[in-house]
Chains A and B, each alone.
Chain A
Amino acid sequence: MSAPLSAEEAHALKALEKRIYRSFFQDGLWDIFWGLILLSFAAQSAYESLGLPYPLDHAIIPALAVLTLELGKRYLTIPRLGAVRFGPERKAALQKGKAVLFTLVTLALIIMILAIPALSLSRPDPGRDVIVRALMMGLVVTTALGIIAFFQNFSRLYIYGVVFGLSLPVSQILKGKVASPWEERLAFGIPALVILTLGLILLVRFLNRYRLIRNGGGHVE
C-alpha cells in the first residue's frame, strides 16, 4: 500500500485544484452573466414596449444571459482552456452549496412572508415599509449570491451580491426623487453596466491571452 499524503502535501494539491478551478472564471463570462441579470431589472419598464406577452418579455435578458454563458463556455472557453472534470470532492461541495442555498432561500421567503404583514401594521408611513421590504429582499439576494460565491470559489460574486442587494432599496429610495422609470434604470443599470464592462474587458483579455489551439484533439500515438 502506498503512503498517504501528509496534510501539507494534501493542502498543496488542494491549492492546485483550486487554482485550476478558478482559472475557468478568468474568461469574464460569469461577470457578463450577472451583469445581464442585473440589467434585466433595469430594463423592466422597457419590456412593455416590446409587445410580448408576460412573462415572456421579462425572460428575454435572463435568457440572453444563460445563452451567453452556455455558448461562451462551449465555443470560447473550452476550445482555449480545455475541458476538465473535477473530482468527487468538488462535485460534493457544489451539491452542498445548492442544498444550502435552496434551504436558505426557502427560509428567507417564509420569514419575509410572515414578517411583512407585521411590518405593515407597525409602521404609520407605508413608504418606509417598502424600503424595509426592499432592504430585506436585498439582504436575501446578497446572502444567496454570497453562498453561491463561496461554493463556486468565485470571489467577485461577493461584491456583485452586495451591489445587487443594495440596488433594491436604492431603487425604492430614488422613487419620487427622479422621474419614473429612471429609479430602476439608475439603481440597477449603472452597476449592471459596470459589471458588464468588467466582464467584457476580462473576456477580451482572455481571448488575447489564450489563442485558439488548432489541433485541439491532441495526437497521442
Chain B
Amino acid sequence: MSNEPKNNDGDRPQNSFDRIDKLVHEPARLAILANLYVVDSADFIFLERQTGLTPGNLSRHLSRLESSRYVEIRKDFVRNRPRTTLRLTEAGRRAFREYVANMKGVLEGIVEP
C-alpha cells in the first residue's frame, strides 16, 4: 500500500500539486510573503515599492493574508500620520517555507517523473 498522502476526497494519492498552498501561490501574495520573510517588519509603503502593486491591490492581498493569519497588521500614528506595519506570523513563515519546499518538489517531479 502506498504511503503517499491522500487528497481530501480520499480516493486518489495526493500529488505534488495538491500540496501547493493556493493562497501563497498567487504571484502578488508570494512577493509580499517573500519580502516580509526576510525582514522583521515593514510598513505599507515599503511593500508597495518592493512589490510594485497598487495600494488597492496590495490592501486586498494583505487582507486575505491577514484573514489566513499569515500576516499581522498593526495600525498606529507616527507624528500624527497613520502608519500600517506588517509582520509575518509564525504560521506565515511556515507556510512560505512549505510552499518553497513543495514547489521544489513539483519542479523536480516534472524534470524527473
A binds B: yes
Is the contact region of chain A dominated by helix, strand, or loop, or is it mixed?
loop
A218 close to B94 (CB less than 8 A): no
B84 in contact (CB, < 8 A): yes
Interface string of B54-69 (1 = CB under 8 A from A): 0100110011001000
Q: How many residues of B contact A (CB 8 A)?
A: 36
A125 in contact (CB, < 8 A): no
Closest residue of chain A to B79 (Cβ to Cβ) is A74
Q: Within the complex, what minimum Cβ distance (angstroms) separates A171 from chain B?
A: 42
Given contacts A20-B35, A81-B45, contact A217 B98 (CB under 8 A): no
A181 in contact (CB, < 8 A): no
A177 in contact (CB, < 8 A): no
Partner of A83, one of B46, B66, B82: B46
A53 in contact (CB, < 8 A): no
Binds B, one of A27-35, A63-71, A208-216: A208-216
Given contacts A82-B43, A82-B47, A220-B59, contact A3 B38 (CB under 8 A): no
Q: How many residues of A contact B (CB 8 A)?
A: 30
Closest residue of chain B to A217 (Cβ to Cβ) is B82
A81 CA to B44 CA in the complex, in Å? Answer: 10
B44 close to A218 (CB less than 8 A): yes
A88 close to B40 (CB less than 8 A): yes
Residues of chain B within 8 A of A79, CB atoms compared:
45
A201 CA to B29 CA in the complex, in Å? Answer: 35
A218 close to B84 (CB less than 8 A): yes
A107 in contact (CB, < 8 A): no
A121 in contact (CB, < 8 A): no
Residues of chain A within 8 A of B81, CB atoms compared:
216-217
A216 CA to B47 CA in the complex, in Å? Answer: 11
Is the contact region of chain B dominated by helix, strand, or loop, or is it mixed?
helix
A221 close to B98 (CB less than 8 A): no
Residues of chain A within 8 A of B82, CB atoms compared:
216-218
Residues of chain A within 8 A of B49, CB atoms compared:
80-82, 210
Given contacts A3-B97, A13-B37, contact A217 B42 (CB under 8 A): no
A220 close to B73 (CB less than 8 A): yes
Closest residue of chain A to B99 (Cβ to Cβ) is A2
A123 in contact (CB, < 8 A): no
Q: Within the complex, what minimum Cβ distance (angstroms) separates B36 from chain A?
A: 10
B38 close to A16 (CB less than 8 A): yes
B39 close to A84 (CB less than 8 A): yes
A49 in contact (CB, < 8 A): no
Given contacts A82-B46, A217-B84, contact A2 B40 (CB under 8 A): no
Given contacts A79-B45, A81-B49, contact A17 B97 (CB under 8 A): no
A50 in contact (CB, < 8 A): no
Listed from nearest, the 8 A-B pairs whose CB atoms lie closest are A218-B44, A82-B46, A217-B82, A82-B45, A218-B84, A3-B101, A17-B38, A85-B40
Q: Could you show 20 A-B contacts with beta carbons less than 8 Å apart? A: A3-B98, A5-B100, A5-B101, A9-B100, A13-B38, A16-B34, A16-B38, A17-B39, A80-B45, A80-B49, A83-B85, A84-B42, A85-B41, A216-B45, A216-B81, A217-B44, A217-B82, A218-B55, A218-B59, A220-B59
